[in-house]
Structure 1
Amino acid sequence: MYIKKLILENFKIFEGTNEFTFSKGVNYLVGENNSGKTTVFDAVKFLTKKVSRDQYIYQKYIQDISKDVSVTLVLGDCTILPSKAKKYENYINCDEDNSLIIKKTSEVLEVNGKKTSIQNVLVLNQETNEYENPTGVPNTITALLDCLFIDANRHNEDIQDFSSTKLMGKLVSKVTADFQQTDEFKELEQKHKEVFGEKGIGQQLTEIEQKLSDTVKAQFGESEIKINFDFPKIKDLLKKGNIQVKEQGINTDISEKGNGLQRAVLLALIQISAEYDDNEANENILYFLDEPELFLHPRAQDKLLKSLNKLACNDNSQVFITTHSPYILKNYNMNNSKVYILDKDSEKIHYESMEDLVLPDVTVGEITYKAFKIPNVEFHHRLFSDIYGLWTEKVNKYRLTTIDEELFVGKYNLPTKKYIPKKWGQWKDEEDRSMPYIIRNCQDHPEVKERNSYSEEELKSSIESLVQIYKDLKSEVNEE
């Protein structure tokens, strides 16, 4: 199961209807501060907790009672639902990606003769096209959506949750599954019987049992009351686990430590989980990581993203990441990833999907240009080099002046600019050259920058030209 689509209606800083479609694998949200990246995460949280209209509606509409706030999720591949979410099975559309559509809205609807509130999670009956409330209980949606949020600036409570539905609990249960068959565990079970049996705690409770039995007999007839202590299930024992940090010989509960250390432990936990990755251990986990680059060295970022990509290969795991870092996107996978670019002007939030990459492998230079809209010489240089290789193989001509004159200017009619070359330490007469040629020479021969320069806008324009030329040459090669 995965989040296929997210639809926001007047939600926080998103005015009107805003729709995001996601990849089954890793989804990146990039953009400047306050552009709405984390708000997308908040929309998912909105479905899983108690909320109020004024807390989440677009600020301008707080006093306008005709406006409503809502979040709609379209879930795909809902072939196997968690046991606690079986009530949703009848709402799955088997004809369209086994989809399930759920919604939370401040709009008051009438369902089965009862009016709904913003606390109800509604499910679309895709046959009647009407929303229904099959559970009647607001928080049952958590049985359907198992989300792990790692926030950038808030404490992460999930780190101390060892329950069987949480990441830590699932990992511990997975690793200790065989322990129940060991002699040590059987010995523990026997010891429990002794401690809580007739010769242990049970003996201390004999008087209470007798008084209870006598009182019940006087009122209801012959009945004997016994107080029993069953051996707890392994998941209940593991639920009592906690993480402690030892520093200078002192153990401290992780919940009492700072957010940076909590994040570090949670991110490490994700990487370890990837080592034990299978459908059972990671059933329906949705990972939401807010700026994972914080507090992490680039090498550690790389390792984390590789683990997340591995988890995303699991049909039941999906990853969402907000980031300011091009390096994080270095692990972008064109087959199972998607990038949304968010931007905010004085009036509203704008967002768009990142264009498809043109180079055969993912480079930081191209990611920086495509996702963050920053022209850079690294991407320019790579494009120029690949074009040079394709061109020279085709025409068997190797001089840079020839590719400039015949391809850039001759075939594509790129505009030229005065360029002063320097050869063997001597300045030569100025020439008319294209911007790709000038920028390439300024990078490969820094000494020419003394009399030659280019602007960021010229770099951007040159990159756009090279992208088109590269596409054309690759197309020609594929046709041959």
Structure 2
Amino acid sequence: MDQEIQRPRLQKLIIKNFRAIGHNPVEIELDDIVVLVGPNNAGKSSILRAYEVAMSDGSKKCELTLDDFPNGTISAENLPEIVLHTIVYDNLPAEKWVNRSTGENIIIERWKWDTVGKPKRSGWNAVSQDWDETGVPWGAANVANSRRPLPHKVDAFSDPEEQSSSIVKLLSTIITNRVKSLTVKNGEEEEELTEFGKLLEQVKEIQNKIIAESKEEIEKAEEGISDLIKEIFPDYKITFDARPEDDLEKSINLFKAGSKLLMGPATGYQSTVDRQGSGARRTLLWAALRYISETSSKNERPNVLLLDEPELCLHPNAVREACRVLYELPLNSNWQVMVTTHSPAFVDVSKDNTTIVRVERDFSGEIKGTTLFRPQRAKLDENDRKLLKLLNLCDPYVAEFFFGGHSIIVEGDTEYTAFKYIAAIHPEEFKDVHIIRARGKATIVSLIKILNHFGTRYSILHDSDYPILESGNKNPAWTTNQNILNAVYEHVDPSRVRLIASLKNFEFAFLTNEVSGEKPYNALLELSENTEIAENIRLLLLSLINHSSPIPTGCLEWSSLEELFRHYQDKVMTSLQKKD
């Protein structure tokens, strides 16, 4: 993308003493897609709200109540504070506000409340390297707001009227901005949206043209979104009940505040969105986002979608489509997306523009935000992304390990099924364990790279295989053992990883039936009928959780390929002795 047409984007959001977030700042690194995961009441929604508050400077939404202060009290040592880093390319403020330490133009602003009501906004002075209380970047709040991406927040549990209002506002803003960008011209060249002020000087002469072009854009939106709605509600359509503003000279709004979005059967009664069911409202939201994504251009004003729990009220078939819409929105247009979720289906580690942040409370009760995953830091190559994409298609819940607990990578379906069975009959013993099914030996390496990025403890169980096949040919799976070991040693502290190999394979090591077309099913039968096998696999699972626990017979904890090879040599010698 050429720098001339690049638009502002968010780089970092820092929050402290705001709602559930305490004195220790929560720092969010922003990407095209930011997925906030973590338990309930950990502050995820507070993070979404923080950016909306900062961007509402100059309006009532930016005014805090006592409930927004820590513990509902005002303390000089614990005042609410929101800091925003924005990367800009044009319309720069005065030189002292521009931080170029990273090679980009970063504007750093802070909002601080010393009491209920309005905040004090200040800017970071790149010259004095301190907060400057004598002025602010870009001056007036409305001017500064126009230099940053515009927020669109949709809450999870707000009442139907608020949800309806959020969707109508989202569509109205996008349509309005597109109409403005289409009608503002200087000679033969189309002007940028930020030059829309020139329209006000000519409003008397071009008002009819603006209204005509806005109607055309509305009709296109109605038709496009109605087509998408029909995929779920076949006989439905939408009508955007928009009315022109009487006095454009005093407002940049093209439509009255009372404009409504109607929805219902094409040949029947259409009611406002707030009168629709939860499923219909969420379907409309996704249809609107998909329409915006598929019809946007990179030259539009940048936007930020702040979405709370996108999985709510979605039919299972709609979840994958909703995830696709979210991930494609930044690719097709000037959008960034920040969502909170409890669903692994909305975490796609195969994408190269996604940051995963876990928000949780520590032992002292303080909320912290930990960046679990950024592709460039995890050092994923194209083959890793390909494997992870295929894995995500096969198992949309593979990303459960982002949500906490002790992670165990296993190679195939049989061990995954066996461990799940053991965990189900011993729930207290294995209540916080995530079994990650790699569905192939090569994919284990890609998953290790991601878990290394966490810096936490985890375990791996894979088949040792043998260097030579029974046919006498070399076994390609043997080479992957070294790749797995190399990946483990890239952990910041390899001693926190336990690497265990099932000797030859899991079925050979722990079950009685090695070769079968129904291996997972046969494993369940054996576990349910043979208490000795079940106990052996329980001990194996315990050893994968507790790295100091002994491992059962049938597997080997290894740290060099020579160890595995010695086992193979022992097996060959034993076989020869039996033949003799």
* 1:271 is the counterpart of 2:290: yes
SS in 1 for 2:344: coil
* 1:251 is the counterpart of 2:308: no
Q: Is the 8 A contact 1:53 1:69 kept in 2?
A: no
Question: For the structure 1 residues 298 and 230, does the alpha-carbon distance in structure 2 shift closer, same or farther, using more than 3 Å as the test?
Answer: closer
Partner of 1:51: 63
Letter in 1 for 2:113: S
Aligned with 2:512 (options 419, 422, 425):
422
Question: For the structure 1 residues 64 and 445, does the alpha-carbon distance in structure 2 shift closer, same or farther, using more than 3 Å as the test?
Answer: same
The 5 A counterparts of 1:290-329 are 290-313=308-331, 316-329=334-347
Further displaced range: 290-299 or 11-20: 11-20
Q: Is the 8 A contact 2:349 2:388 kept in 1?
A: no
Partner of 1:35: 42
Partner of 1:396: 468
Alpha-carbon distance, 1:299 to partner:
3.2
Partner of 1:367: 399
* 1:285 is the counterpart of 2:299: no
Partner of 2:155: 151
Partner of 1:335: 352
Partner of 2:132: 131
SS in 1 for 2:40: coil
Alpha-carbon distance, 1:298 to partner:
3.4
Distance 1:168 1:390 in 2: 56
Distance 1:280 1:254 in 2: 30
Q: Deviations over 1:336-355 (max 9, x none)?
A: 11101122356222432225
Distance 2:52 2:251 in 1: 30
Q: Is the 8 A contact 1:343 1:349 kept in 2?
A: yes
Aligned with 1:348 (options 366, 389, 393):
366
Alpha-carbon distance, 1:365 to partner:
5.2
Q: Is the 8 A contact 1:441 1:448 kept in 2?
A: no
Partner of 2:21: 14
Partner of 1:445: 523
Letter in 1 for 2:131: E
Alpha-carbon distance, 1:260 to partner:
4.8
SS in 2 for 1:160: helix
- Matched pairs, number: 390
Partner of 1:62: 73
Q: Is the 8 A contact 2:511 2:523 kept in 1?
A: no
Q: Deviations over 1:408-434 (max 9, x none)?
A: 9xx998499997632499xxxxxxxxx
Q: Is the 8 A contact 2:32 2:337 kept in 1?
A: yes
Distance 2:252 2:404 in 1: 45
Q: Is the 8 A contact 1:121 1:141 kept in 2?
A: no
Distance 1:274 1:472 in 2: 49
Distance 2:143 2:63 in 1: 15
Q: Is the 8 A contact 2:85 2:108 kept in 1?
A: yes
Q: Deviations over 1:88-143 (max 9, x none)?
A: 786232453211111111259xxxxxxx9842332222222332433665555542
Distance 1:278 1:471 in 2: 53
Partner of 2:233: none
* 1:79 is the counterpart of 2:89: yes
Alpha-carbon distance, 1:396 to partner:
2.7
Question: For the structure 1 residues 298 and 357, does the alpha-carbon distance in structure 2 shift closer, same or farther, using more than 3 Å as the test?
Answer: farther
Distance 2:121 2:249 in 1: 34
Distance 1:315 1:254 in 2: 26
Distance 1:390 1:263 in 2: 44
Alpha-carbon distance, 1:177 to partner:
10
Q: Is the 8 A contact 1:72 1:103 kept in 2?
A: yes
SS in 2 for 1:269: helix
Distance 1:460 1:304 in 2: 35
Question: For the structure 1 residues 66 and 445, does the alpha-carbon distance in structure 2 shift closer, same or farther, using more than 3 Å as the test?
Answer: closer
Distance 1:9 1:292 in 2: 25
Name the structure, 1 or 2, with higher relative contact order (CA <8 Å, separation 6+).
Answer: 1
Alpha-carbon distance, 1:293 to partner:
0.7
Distance 1:277 1:232 in 2: 27
Alpha-carbon distance, 1:326 to partner:
0.8
Q: Deviations over 1:63-111 (max 9, x none)?
A: 53343120101112x1035xxxx65786232453211111111259xxx
TM-score, normalized by length of structure 2? 0.55
Distance 1:103 1:277 in 2: 31
Question: For the structure 1 residues 50 and 354, does the alpha-carbon distance in structure 2 shift closer, same or farther, using more than 3 Å as the test?
Answer: closer
Question: For the structure 1 residues 255 and 177, does the alpha-carbon distance in structure 2 shift closer, same or farther, using more than 3 Å as the test?
Answer: farther
Alpha-carbon distance, 1:5 to partner:
1.4
Distance 1:175 1:296 in 2: 35
Letter in 1 for 2:29: F
Q: Deviations over 1:210-246 (max 9, x none)?
A: xxxxxxxxxxxxxxxxxxx999999855567531123
Q: Is the 8 A contact 2:286 2:325 kept in 1?
A: no
SS in 1 for 2:25: strand
Alpha-carbon distance, 1:292 to partner:
0.6
Q: Is the 8 A contact 2:278 2:313 kept in 1?
A: no
Distance 1:398 1:235 in 2: 77
Q: Is the 8 A contact 2:309 2:342 kept in 1?
A: yes
Q: Is the 8 A contact 2:401 2:407 kept in 1?
A: yes
SS in 2 for 1:310: helix
SS in 1 for 2:282: helix
Structure 1 unaligned segments of length 5 or more: list them.
109-115, 179-185, 193-228, 426-439, 474-480
Higher alpha-carbon Rg: 1
Q: Is the 8 A contact 1:53 1:118 kept in 2?
A: no
Partner of 1:93: 99
Question: For the structure 1 residues 469 and 366, does the alpha-carbon distance in structure 2 shift closer, same or farther, using more than 3 Å as the test?
Answer: farther
Distance 1:10 1:279 in 2: 36
Distance 1:292 1:152 in 2: 8
Distance 1:50 1:441 in 2: 59
Further displaced range: 236-245 or 93-102: 236-245
Alpha-carbon distance, 1:333 to partner:
4.0
Identity of aligned residues (%): 18
Alpha-carbon distance, 1:158 to partner:
3.1
Alpha-carbon distance, 1:17 to partner:
2.7
Partner of 1:379: 436
